Structure 1
Amino acid sequence: MAFRFKPTERIEDGFQRIVAEQIARAQEILRNASEESIAVHEARKSIKRLRALLRLVRPSIGEKTFKSENAFLRDIGLSLSGARDRFVLAETLKKLGAEAQIEPRSLIADVCACIAGGSEASDPEQPRLAIKQADALLDEAKARLEALKFAGSQFDVVGAGLEQSYRRARLAFAEAYRSDDDEAFHEWRKGAQTHWRQMLLLAPAWPGYLGARAAEARALSQLLGDDHDLAVVVAFLQSEATTGVDEEGRACIAAKARDAQRALRAEAYARGQRLFAAGPKRLRRAVGEFWNAAAALKALEDDRAAELSGNGGNGGKARKRVTNVGRKVRKSAE
């Protein structure tokens, strides 16, 4: 169940295959959940993959359709977020307390008690009800995505979406360091996550290069995820939910969280410079050429295998595909 397009299949067919695989994965996890927070986390990852896939075909399906389907998937993910978000908040606090050696140790426990006692945690049945509802909505999402129509053919179906998503991520990178705002860094994180997953989808075009980009974008998104978790800690410490905790203690935790964020953002900047060095049009053109070349190479490989097995071959089609790649390379160089 690899989250990848195949150079040998039509992009449209690959889209539908991946949709079916990711929805089946999410539903299986939700239906067999032994630990709710883990199941929700894994199911939400499948939903995020689907949203990255949808952004890749955004120009091909039209803006109105994209916004409708993206909002539908987003709302499914949000319906599962409550219990998971509280779990992550508590774990981030505990990790910060240990790494920053915050004293007294009871201070972190006091804040965690505020999380556990929040109004959102008062109904123990709510997570199970949310899981059941999300399972049903995923059936509807599958039907909606299966009905999509695409403009263009082959790499053209995803090329403009790749360029658009990458450009948005680059702009978010610049804005994050211009404003030094938590929300801006969160937007950059979402852009990095999208790029990571889109590189995975297209990695078969050139696994060494695009796989390395995917790994770098994943590492960056994890750094920015840790940064976001710390920003949530700071916001929680400033909320009414923690008014019963010593004010000086809350200020101490917030200061340690900001120190940790500065270190994360310094590393993220260096990684971002490397990952987003190429311009959007240049990246789109390169990945498109990689994709066409990979399809041609696979056709030649299949033809040679057929000849060796004594089943004839399909050399005509394979040679035609190689010729078409050559034409596209010459055109892009003009």
Structure 2
Amino acid sequence: MTAPIDPREPLSAEVRRIAADETSTAVAALETARTDPSEGFHECRKAIKRLRALWRMARAGDEPYCRAQDASLRRAAKLLAGPREATALIETADRLAQVAGDDTEANAVAALRAMLEARRSTLMGSCLHVGPAVAEATALLSKLDFTSMRMPDVPATAADVLEIGVRKGMRRALKALKAAGETGEAEAFHDLRKAVKALSLQARLLKPLMPDAGKRERKAMEAFGERLGELNDLHVMDALLAAEGVDLVGAEATALLRERIATETQKLKRRCLKAGAKHLEHKPAPVARELAARFERRASKARNRQAA
């Protein structure tokens, strides 16, 4: 990941720098994908997530521009979803193998993993899948233009932009946490995962403004996001087995695997809700105001020094 926002520099320049660096990283990862699709697509999607977190945080500075950027990045990410999901399913099978209750269950997981590995090999080895996705995603990313962005650089106004972005991101996460706790539905936990991931990435961007306690909380938030990712993978695996399990591993193994997934899903849901209550306990407005105030103080100090 590129260096975080430097409050001593104009906000517009910092946003352009980060956007350009991350876009270059994403395009380079797509080149890697031509020979190593699994690694290349994964790295590209991570860079795209960082970019989308940036535009969400900066949206109040130039909302039409940031929304357009986010829409293009969302389209690019969707092009790469299939190969990444194929790998995530195998990783999920590996985690299920670690909690298998007996040899029968372990054999069912092994059979499923073998089928998933064969599917991924077919997908990754096919130019019909990889080539067009790489080409189209590269074209979308290469067309991104950062020169037309109008981001404020006056310290107080720039601080307001960041304050709004942080506050909205935290409120989004709190809303998703409430929905996940009330409904228990997969989609609600999926929304929570996306919101927490964005918060973690934005915290990295604002690292110079974080107090020491905030830096520790950022690490904990990242770990929370990982657990939510594992939960989402279990939901995806269960949906796959519900639709194709009988064809993949047979009816008996499918029933056994889905029972295990249900057990692990409930454990992870409880764990995630408990973590969410802890890591999202802070009220958004005071946190956002404090970060914005830190930015404004440092930005104003740098500007005054330059003017002296």
On whether the aligned pair clears a TM of 0.5, the verdict is yes
Which amino acid in structure 2 is aligned with residue 124 of structure 1? S
Gapped regions of structure 2 (runs ≥ 5): none
Q: Deviations over 1:30-55 (max 9, x none)?
A: 22344220111111100000000010
Residues 267 and 146 of structure 1: CA distance in aligned 2, closer, same or farther (over 3 Å): farther
- The 8 Å contact of residues 206 and 294 in structure 1, kept in 2 or not, is answered as no
Which amino acid in structure 2 is aligned with residue 132 of structure 1? A
Residues 222 and 244 of structure 1: CA distance in aligned 2, closer, same or farther (over 3 Å): closer
> Which structure is larger by alpha-carbon Rg, 1 or 2?
1
Q: Deviations over 1:163-188 (max 9, x none)?
A: 11110111101110110001100100
Matches of 2:166 and 2:254, distance apart in 1: 43
**Aligned to 2:149, what secondary structure does the other structure show?**
coil
Q: CA RMSD in A?
A: 2.6
TM-score by length of structure 2 reads 0.88
Matches of 1:54 and 1:172, distance apart in 2: 20
Aligned to 2:149: 148
Q: Deviations over 1:273-300 (max 9, x none)?
A: 2221121211111111222344467x49
State yes or no: 1:121 paired with 2:123: yes
Matches of 2:208 and 2:133, distance apart in 1: 36
Gapped regions of structure 1 (runs ≥ 5): 304-313, 318-334
Aligned to 2:78: 78
Q: Deviations over 1:67-101 (max 9, x none)?
A: 43212101101101211211211221132023224
- The 8 Å contact of residues 36 and 127 in structure 1, kept in 2 or not, is answered as yes
State yes or no: 1:179 paired with 2:180: no
Aligned identity (percent) is 26
State yes or no: 1:194 paired with 2:198: yes
Matches of 2:68 and 2:7, distance apart in 1: 29
User: How many residues in Structure 1 have an aligned counterpart in Structure 2?
Assistant: 301
Residues 129 and 315 of structure 1: CA distance in aligned 2, closer, same or farther (over 3 Å): closer
Matches of 1:249 and 1:191, distance apart in 2: 35
- The 8 Å contact of residues 5 and 204 in structure 1, kept in 2 or not, is answered as yes
Aligned to 1:47: 48
Matches of 2:210 and 2:119, distance apart in 1: 50
State yes or no: 1:276 paired with 2:277: no
Higher relative contact order (CA 8 A, sep 6+): 2
Matches of 1:122 and 1:285, distance apart in 2: 47
Matches of 1:129 and 1:37, distance apart in 2: 15
- The 8 Å contact of residues 56 and 198 in structure 1, kept in 2 or not, is answered as yes
Residues 173 and 95 of structure 1: CA distance in aligned 2, closer, same or farther (over 3 Å): same
Residues 30 and 285 of structure 1: CA distance in aligned 2, closer, same or farther (over 3 Å): same
**Aligned to 2:205, what secondary structure does the other structure show?**
helix
State yes or no: 1:260 paired with 2:269: no
